[in-house]
A and B are shown apart, each in its own frame.
Chain A
Amino acid sequence: MKTNIDQCIKCSLCNAYCPVFQATGLFPGPKLSGPDAERFRLKGKSLPGDWLEYCDYCKICSRVCPHNVPIPELHMRALLSLRKKQKPSFRNWLLGHSYLLEKLGRLGTPVSNWINTWAFFRWLLDRGLGIDRRVKMPAFNSWTFTSWFRSRPSKTGEPIAYFHGCYTNYIDPALGRDVVEVLEKNGFQVFLPRQECCGLPLISNGFFDLAVSLAKKNLSSLQAKVGEGLEVIFSSPSCGMTLKEEYDSLLNIPGAALLADHLLEISQFLLYQHGQGKLNARLNPLNETLYYHVPCHLRALKLGLPALELLSLIPGLKVIELPEGCCGLAGTFGLKKEKYSVAKEVGEELFQAVRDLKAAVVISECEACRLQIAQHTGVRTLHPVQVLRRAYGE
């Protein structure tokens, strides 16, 4: 990727829309920390880096930039090269390796869930490690999505692959089940390629080498499926974005760019099927009003808003878009003690809108958004494909 900082004309649109810049004085804004600071970094001058961590990687800056300055990439590269010199903290090691934590947590249920809600333990985590005690940690499930999948007979149909991601596997297996059932009701036979964590928590916490090694494993596993003629579906926009873009532009994995065309977001794929006249249209009416929050990483994928179009096919269903903006959690960002209030401030307009609209259910493709919105407003959250599953009935 060519660093295109000369295209920056200092219009400050990035600053106008950066949610973190508005929420705290600790982040100097994308214009300064991106193309401006890059001039110093290119000359090898050392810069203080603590403010780099406050970028929550929502990528809103590059979306509004009229000249395609790749600001989030400038940030991430600077952060990664900084982390090569400084060892990350134990807290960041834990959060970066969340896939390991989820594995262990699952093995230890229900004790692990009790411990996570035990006030004294959370106080220890807060004071000792800097994981904010106010965060309601998602509960580990005793069953994983993959164990459920393997335990049932497979259906026949047109083969398709599913990259489920760690969160779906360990924490929200019901979502994975809904994705599989929706695909099966559309005549597909779902295959799960061998998969590791997509690596985004590792990248954002500075673990470049481990992210690369997991990425290579994922790439070869997915390439094998694509080679057999399968497309690969993903349901988490952050995993999808990492596979489609970060593998190539940040991690420089050879062959990653070619895979991108075969990675499809679930609503994008189902909408395509609809355009071809192949979508199972036996949808029961759902007479309800749902509120939709568009995840930052879904916008970063530049696919439009396929979930809105797809759900408009369900009779009686009303889906209203919430005001655009970042929810603030940004993966592991908002779990960190020093960033918890920033994350809350970033999402505050969104949460206020949810309260003002008296929303009962908020739908969003991203697990972090669902977690953050539920945490700060108490509403029930779902992935859009789960609404479709319900409309299909039995």
Chain B
Amino acid sequence: MFYDVIVIGAGLAGLMAAEAAQGQGAKVLLLARGLGSLPLTTGCIDFLGYFPKTTETPLSAPLTVLPRLQEEYPHHPYALLGQEKIVKAGELFLKISREIGLPYEGSLASNLFILTPLGTFHPTCLFPESMKDGSLSDPDPILLLGFPGLKDFSPFLAAGLLNVLHSAGKVAPFFRAEVVPELALSGKAINGLTLAKAFDRRDFRKDFIKKVKPLIKPGERIGLPAVLGFHSFREALNDLQENLLAKVFEVPLPPPSIPGIRLWQKLQGRFRERGGRMIIGLPPLYPQKEANRLSGLALGSSGKSLVYKASAFVLATGKFFGGGLDSERGKIFETLLGLPLKYPDKRKEWSNPFLLAPEGQPFNRFGVAVDKNLQPIDHDGQVVYANLFAAGGILAQGDSMTEKSGGGVAISTGYWAGRNAAAVK
């Protein structure tokens, strides 16, 4: 059970690390507790929506603020990597997205503003083609269509709140809302997944188009909840655009997010097709060490447990949600290896009593400190394990919640951590 690289974590960072290591010819094993965090994301890659610790003005050109970020936050993952490496990772993600049949668009030089079900805007950077016609900077009017029984999307709520923003000059288009008349799902529950699978079927789409066409006014773009197909999503989108004679775009919904799941399915499929092995649903792993290197991860504490061994390891276990970090009354700790963490001694400095404070919550910046090669370091700046790398949410200093930087940190640190790990012999 010997591998070149073992990646721990099946979120976007872990998947990118695995992809990068495979690209260097490594034999890769990916271990995960659950199924990764992609179903919880919009499916878009947020690179940098707001400058750290400020949520006043969203950024329209994230790359231009990178030098200032590097100066003011030298330990931020973006500062450690530098512009060249970040841009390369972004380009690679776009290339991979085309190869897996789920093409993404956009560039790290500018942000796209998409609308949310709660009737506000969200700055994102790289997006699937199904979301490209939903830009809030484009003045063409938008019709939001809801489905009867789909609890996560009320087009009237979204349209109402967005029109308030429109009158304040914050978004360009004007919004209308309608609900699609009754749709038959043959006894299945109405939720994102069942709807997405229904949109895979031509007969369902034909019936849908017939019911929706009379609701559309000329010149409108149509915003639908992001359920437009599960396996045949490209076909479904084209079918709708051609027959409704209008631009159609998807609005990302709360989890389970279909665009997130599509990306997950494609990325893990690509990983497996290229010979990678993925084992999910694992119990806590027991690390085995030899001097200053990690030698393996055991599945249990008994002597008869299976041990997975590798030359190098990438830790991509996320923060508190993913389980990479955990807390007790007096301390915060990294759950797999007990890596040294830096955080305020006083517990009340771990959080801000204002939940949505613009500077963000301090605990969202906790994590493992790394050097420029993405290797975890201790408080003296020394690398802890010679063959260990880290990527994604587990890293300290990046606050994906307020900065809207989760996807960007994941793909850039994931890619380079995987590449560096594959170089270890």
A23 to B277, CA, bound (A): 28
Contact pattern, A 64-77, Cβ under 8 Å of B = 1, otherwise 0 = 11100000000000
> CB-CB < 8 A to B34: which residues of A?
13, 63-66
Contact A24 B188 (CB under 8 A): yes
A264 to B306, CA, bound (A): 12
Asked if B214 is at the interface (CB within 8 A of a chain A CB), the reply is no
Contact B283 A302 (CB under 8 A): yes
- CB of B39 to closest CB in A, whole Å: 5
Asked if A295 is at the interface (CB within 8 A of a chain B CB), the reply is no
> CB-CB < 8 A to B307: which residues of A?
275
Contact pattern, B 270-282, Cβ under 8 Å of A = 1, otherwise 0 = 0010000101111
Q: Given A22-B197, A66-B322, A305-B279 in contact, is the A15-B299 Cβ separation under 8 Å?
A: no
Contact pattern, A 11-40, Cβ under 8 Å of B = 1, otherwise 0 = 111011100011111111100000000000
Contact B283 A264 (CB under 8 A): no
Asked if A268 is at the interface (CB within 8 A of a chain B CB), the reply is yes
Contact B282 A22 (CB under 8 A): no
Contact pattern, A 269-310, Cβ under 8 Å of B = 1, otherwise 0 = 101100100000000000000000000000110111110110
Contact pattern, B 254-268, Cβ under 8 Å of A = 1, otherwise 0 = 111000010000000
A271 to B306, CA, bound (A): 8
Quick one: which of A12, A13, A26, A268 contacts B306, CB cutoff 8 A? A268
A63 to B35, CA, bound (A): 8
A15 to B307, CA, bound (A): 32
- CB of A238 to closest CB in B, whole Å: 16
User: Which residue of B191, B302, B321 has the most chain A CB atoms within 10 A of its CB atom?
Assistant: B191
> CB-CB < 8 A to B277: which residues of A?
305, 308
Asked if A338 is at the interface (CB within 8 A of a chain B CB), the reply is no
A264 to B302, CA, bound (A): 12
- Please provide the chain B residues from 261 to 314 with a CB less than 8 Å away from any CB of chain A in the complex: 261, 272, 277, 279-283, 299, 302, 304, 306-308
> CB-CB < 8 A to B272: which residues of A?
321
Q: Considering only CB atoms, which chain A residue lies closest to B185 in the complex?
A: A25
Contact B306 A66 (CB under 8 A): no
A264 to B321, CA, bound (A): 32
Contact B255 A13 (CB under 8 A): yes
User: Which residue of B279, B281, B299, B321 has the most chain A CB atoms within 10 A of its CB atom?
Assistant: B281
> CB-CB < 8 A to B193: which residues of A?
16, 21-22
Interface residues on A, range: 35 or more
- Please provide the chain B residues from 13 to 46 with a CB less than 8 Å away from any CB of chain A in the complex: 33-35, 39-40
- Please provide the chain A residues from 169 to 204 with a CB less than 8 Å away from any CB of chain B in the complex: none
Quick one: which of B40, B255, B282, B304 contacts A304, CB cutoff 8 A? B282
> CB-CB < 8 A to B254: which residues of A?
12
Contact B321 A66 (CB under 8 A): yes
Contact B1 A309 (CB under 8 A): yes
Asked if B139 is at the interface (CB within 8 A of a chain A CB), the reply is no
Asked if A394 is at the interface (CB within 8 A of a chain B CB), the reply is no
Decide if the interface of chain B is mainly helix, strand, loop or mixed.
loop
> CB-CB < 8 A to B255: which residues of A?
11-13, 16
Contact B187 A24 (CB under 8 A): yes
A312 to B321, CA, bound (A): 35
Q: Considering only CB atoms, which chain A residue lies closest to B197 in the complex?
A: A22
A27 to B191, CA, bound (A): 12
- CB of B135 to closest CB in A, whole Å: 28
Asked if B194 is at the interface (CB within 8 A of a chain A CB), the reply is yes
Quick one: which of B188, B279, B283 contacts A25, CB cutoff 8 A? B188
Q: Considering only CB atoms, which chain A residue lies closest to B281 in the complex?
A: A63
Q: Given A22-B197, A29-B189, A66-B322 in contact, is the A16-B283 Cβ separation under 8 Å?
A: no
Q: Considering only CB atoms, which chain B residue lies closest to A11 in the complex?
A: B255
Asked if A261 is at the interface (CB within 8 A of a chain B CB), the reply is yes
Q: Considering only CB atoms, which chain B residue lies closest to A345 in the complex?
A: B188
Asked if B323 is at the interface (CB within 8 A of a chain A CB), the reply is yes
> CB-CB < 8 A to B256: which residues of A?
12-13, 15-16
- CB of A253 to closest CB in B, whole Å: 21
Quick one: which of A13, A23, A309 contacts B40, CB cutoff 8 A? A13
Q: Considering only CB atoms, which chain B residue lies closest to A63 in the complex?
A: B281
Contact B194 A17 (CB under 8 A): no
Q: Considering only CB atoms, which chain B residue lies closest to A298 in the complex?
A: B281
Q: Considering only CB atoms, which chain A residue lies closest to B302 in the complex?
A: A261
> CB-CB < 8 A to A305: which residues of B?
277, 279
> CB-CB < 8 A to A303: which residues of B?
299, 306
A304 to B323, CA, bound (A): 19
- CB of A143 to closest CB in B, whole Å: 33
Q: Considering only CB atoms, which chain B residue lies closest to A65 in the complex?
A: B34
Q: Given A12-B255, A13-B34, A16-B255 in contact, is the A306-B189 Cβ separation under 8 Å?
A: no
- Please provide the chain A residues from 60 to 116 with a CB less than 8 Å away from any CB of chain B in the complex: 63-66
User: Which residue of A15, A65, A269, A308 has the most chain B CB atoms within 10 A of its CB atom?
Assistant: A15
> CB-CB < 8 A to A272: which residues of B?
304, 306
Contact B304 A264 (CB under 8 A): yes
> CB-CB < 8 A to A264: which residues of B?
304
- CB of A19 to closest CB in B, whole Å: 10
- CB of B373 to closest CB in A, whole Å: 29
Q: Given A13-B255, A63-B281, A64-B34 in contact, is the A21-B306 Cβ separation under 8 Å?
A: no
Contact pattern, A 143-181, Cβ under 8 Å of B = 1, otherwise 0 = 000000000000000000000000000000000000000
A324 to B256, CA, bound (A): 18
A305 to B302, CA, bound (A): 18
- CB of B151 to closest CB in A, whole Å: 11
> CB-CB < 8 A to B306: which residues of A?
268, 271-272, 275, 303-304, 306, 309
Contact B188 A64 (CB under 8 A): no
A12 to B193, CA, bound (A): 12
A261 to B323, CA, bound (A): 26
A-B contacts, 29 of them at CB < 8 A, read A13-B34, A13-B35, A13-B39, A13-B40, A13-B256, A15-B256, A16-B261, A21-B191, A22-B188, A22-B197, A24-B189, A25-B190, A29-B189, A29-B191, A63-B34, A63-B281, A64-B34, A66-B33, A261-B302, A299-B281, A302-B283, A302-B299, A304-B279, A304-B299, A305-B279, A306-B306, A308-B277, A309-B306, A321-B272
Q: Which B residues form the contact surface with A (CB < 8 A)?
A: 1, 33-35, 39-40, 185, 187-191, 193-194, 197, 254-256, 261, 272, 277, 279-283, 299, 302, 304, 306-308, 321-323
A-B contacts besides A13-B40, A324-B280, 4 pairs, CB < 8 Å: A64-B35, A268-B304, A300-B281, A309-B1
